[in-house]
Amino acid sequence: MATFIDSIDERTKLAGTNHLEVLLFNLGTSDDTGRNEVFGINVFKVREVLNVPEITTAPEMPEGIEGFVSLRGDMVPIINLQKFCKLKSKDDPSILMITEYNTHVQGFLVSSVDTIQRLNWEQVKEPPQLISKRLAGLVTAVAELADKRLVMIMDVEKVLADAGEFYDDTVFEGIRNLGEKHQYRLLFADDSNIARKQIKKTLDVMGVNHIGAINGAEAWQLLSKMADQCEADGRDITSEIQAVLTDVEMPEMDGYVLTQKIKADKRLAHLPVIMHSSLTAQANQAMGRGVGADAYVPKFQPRELADTLETYLDKVKN
Q: What is the pLDDT of residue 167?
A: 56
Q: How many angstroms separate the CA atoms of 96 and 80, rounded?
A: 9
Q: Which candidate, 51, 48, 57, 165, places its Cα nearest to that of 103?
A: 165
pLDDT band at 88 (very low <50, low <70, confident <90, very high): confident
Chain Cα centroid distance, residue 220? 18
Q: What is the pLDDT of residue 9?
A: 47
CA distances from 284 to 22, 121, 201, 220, 260 (A): 15, 17, 26, 22, 15
Chain Cα centroid distance, residue 99? 13
> CB-based burial of residue 63 (10 Å sphere; 0-12 exposed, 13-18 middle, 19+ buried)?
exposed
pLDDT band at 8 (very low <50, low <70, confident <90, very high): very low
pLDDT band at 166 (very low <50, low <70, confident <90, very high): low
Q: What is the pLDDT of residue 61?
A: 76
Q: Could you give all domains of the chain from N- to C-terminal order, each with its CATH number?
A: 17-163 (2.40.50.180), 177-316 (3.40.50.2300)
Taking residues 103-125, what's their average pLDDT?
A: 87
Taking residues 213-233, what's their average pLDDT?
A: 96
Q: Is pLDDT at 226 greater than 90 in this prediction?
A: yes
Whether the CB-CB separation of 271 and 243 falls below 8 Å is answered with: yes
Q: What is the pLDDT of residue 39?
A: 92
Taking residues 101-126, what's their average pLDDT?
A: 86
Whether the CB-CB separation of 102 and 37 falls below 8 Å is answered with: no
Mean pLDDT, rounded, of the chain: 85
89 conformational bin, left if phi > 0, alpha if psi -120 to 50, beta if neither: beta
Whether the CB-CB separation of 300 and 198 falls below 8 Å is answered with: yes
Q: Which residue has the higher pLDDT, 33 or 217?
A: 217
Indicate the pTM of the whole model: 0.80
Q: What is the pLDDT of residue 208?
A: 96
pLDDT band at 281 (very low <50, low <70, confident <90, very high): low
Phi, psi of 76, rounded to the nearest 5 degrees: -110, 125
Whether the CB-CB separation of 218 and 258 falls below 8 Å is answered with: no
Q: What is the pLDDT of residue 179?
A: 80
Taking residues 302-318, what's their average pLDDT?
A: 87
**Which range has the worst mean pLDDT, 65-74, 223-232, 264-273?**
65-74
Taking residues 63-68, what's their average pLDDT?
A: 82
Q: What is the pLDDT of residue 164?
A: 62
Q: What is the pLDDT of residue 162?
A: 75
pLDDT digits (tens, 9 = 90+) for 22-59: 899 999 888 888 888 889 988 878 888 999 988 988 77
E runs forming strands in 2-102: 19-26, 38-42, 46-51, 65-71, 74-80, 95-101
Q: How many angstroms separate the CA atoms of 318 and 308, rounded?
A: 16
> CB-based burial of residue 6 (10 Å sphere; 0-12 exposed, 13-18 middle, 19+ buried)?
exposed
Q: How many angstroms separate the CA atoms of 211 and 244, rounded?
A: 10
Go through the chain and tell me how many residues it has.
318
Taking residues 60-67, what's their average pLDDT?
A: 78
Q: How many angstroms separate the CA atoms of 100 and 23, rounded?
A: 14
Within 8 A by CB and 6+ apart from 3, the residues are none
Q: Is pLDDT at 2 greater than 70 in this prediction?
A: no
Q: Which residue has the higher pLDDT, 198 or 165?
A: 198
